[in-house]
């Protein structure tokens, strides 16, 4: 158990170092002009959050999810809270200081709003999945540190397909499948040919057909698998060229479009589900002024295709809501 806890702590420290470190430059960068002609951008629809530790404020934004009523949930492992905002982006509540006697939320990272509008959270220090209702009342939790079935080392991205929940078990380099009550069903490895011995994995999302898409952060790519674990393909590159992702972080899917944030380039990249590059989102217009994205990381899309992306540059901690249809300069 102590060894498992140590592995979990090391994973989170590595993740926080990657996310908080100064953005590195890939070889031979080709930096695009943010306001170039025909550059796509999305209409600004609002924002929530600000920097700080008080209610409604955020410190370290790692994940966003949106329920069917367009309530917004934000994980903040810096404070250990989950913050909730309504569809008008007005702060409602936060939770995480107590799990009704079951301990504190410890490094709440990735979020999932399931078909019942319950909120599932992956806790990287506790290496478990914790389920709440949308008012913050704990419903269930499962998992512990380890390598056996139902155990985790770096519990990360979450995805629901049918009545099952898939969990990215990052350090164990596998996807584990559970039923809606947290009972172990099956697993598959995400190691593919020519992978280096050291790989870091970050987020996971799925489409309407059950295909899973995993961010391989260290290899600057997205890996696609079937729901049964068959490897389909991967794409991405460490470059500033169109579609390049020197530091991919979180992903979201709407229809046939996969969005991924890149922390280094400070953009959101849009691909189709076969990995073909579509376009890049570099900014938005707020109050008549064009603004570039600021350290985008967490990402979500609602049922209407609107995009939610975090901004976390110096003095800024907020979630920006953008229209789903791109406009052009």
* CATH code, domain with 176: 2.120.10.30
Indicate the pTM of the whole model. 0.87
* Cβ contacts of 113-118, under 8 Å, gap ≥ 24: 113/65, 113/66, 113/67, 113/68, 113/73, 114/160, 114/165, 114/180, 115/160, 117/67, 117/68, 117/69
Dig out the tokens for 298 from the structure.
Answer: 């967490």
pLDDT for 97 equals 66
Torsion sign (Cα): 164, 8, 94, 135: positive
pLDDT for 104 equals 64
What is the count of structural domains for the chain? Answer: 1
pLDDT for 326 equals 77
pLDDT for 52 equals 94
Query: Residue 102 is part of which domain span?
Result: 2-328
* Cβ contacts of 168-175, under 8 Å, gap ≥ 24: 168/110, 168/201, 168/203, 168/204, 168/214, 170/11, 170/200, 170/201, 170/202, 171/7, 171/8, 171/11, 172/147, 173/199, 173/201, 175/204, 175/212, 175/214, 175/225, 175/229
pLDDT < 70 stretches in the chain: 1-40, 97-104, 329
Q: Which of 151, 149, 76, 150 is nearest to 108 (CA)?
A: 76
Dig out the tokens for 187 from the structure.
Answer: 């697993």
- Kindly state the helix (H) or strand (E) to which residue 324 belongs, with its residue range: strand 318-328
Dig out the tokens for 225 from the structure.
Answer: 């698998």
pLDDT for 307 equals 97
pLDDT for 7 equals 46
């Amino acid at each position: 158990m102590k060894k498992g806890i140590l592995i979990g702590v090391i994973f989170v420290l590595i993740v926080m170092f990657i996310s908080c470190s100064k953005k590195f430059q890939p070889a031979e960068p080709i930096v695009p002009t943010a306001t170039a002609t025909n550059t796509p951008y999305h209409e600004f629809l609002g924002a929530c959050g600000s920097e700080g530790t008080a209610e409604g404020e955020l410190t370290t934004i790692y994940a966003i999810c949106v329920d069917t009523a367009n309530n917004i949930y934000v994980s903040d492992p810096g404070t250990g809270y989950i913050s909730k905002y309504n569809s008008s982006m007005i702060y409602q509540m936060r939770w995480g200081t107590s799990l009704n006697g079951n301990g504190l939320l410890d490094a709440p990272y990735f979020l999932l709003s399931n078909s019942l509008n319950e909120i599932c959270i992956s806790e990287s220090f506790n290496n478990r999945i914790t389920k709440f209702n949308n008012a913050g009342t704990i419903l269930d939790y499962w998992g512990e540190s380890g390598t056996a079935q139902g155990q985790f080392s770096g519990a990360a991205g979450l995805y629901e397909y049918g009545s099952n929940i898939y969990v990215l078990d990052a350090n164990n380099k596998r996807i584990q499948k559970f039923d809606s009550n947290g009972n172990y069903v099956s697993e598959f490895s995400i190691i593919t040919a020519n992978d280096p011995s050291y790989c870091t994995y970050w987020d996971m999302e799925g489409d309407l057909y059950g295909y899973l898409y995993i961010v391989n952060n260290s290899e600057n790519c997205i890996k696609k698998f079937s729901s049964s674990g068959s490897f389909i393909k991967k794409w991405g590159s460490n470059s500033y060229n169109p579609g390049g992702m020197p530091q991919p972080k979180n992903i979201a899917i709407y229809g046939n479009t996969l969005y991924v944030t890149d922390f280094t380039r400070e953009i959101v990249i849009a691909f189709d589900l076969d990995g073909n590059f579509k376009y890049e989102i570099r900014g938005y217009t707020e109050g008549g002024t064009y603004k570039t994205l600021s350290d985008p990381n967490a990402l979500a899309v609602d049922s209407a295709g609107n995009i939610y992306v975090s901004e976390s540059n110096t003095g800024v901690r907020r979630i920006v809501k953008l229209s789903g249809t791109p406009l052009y300069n």
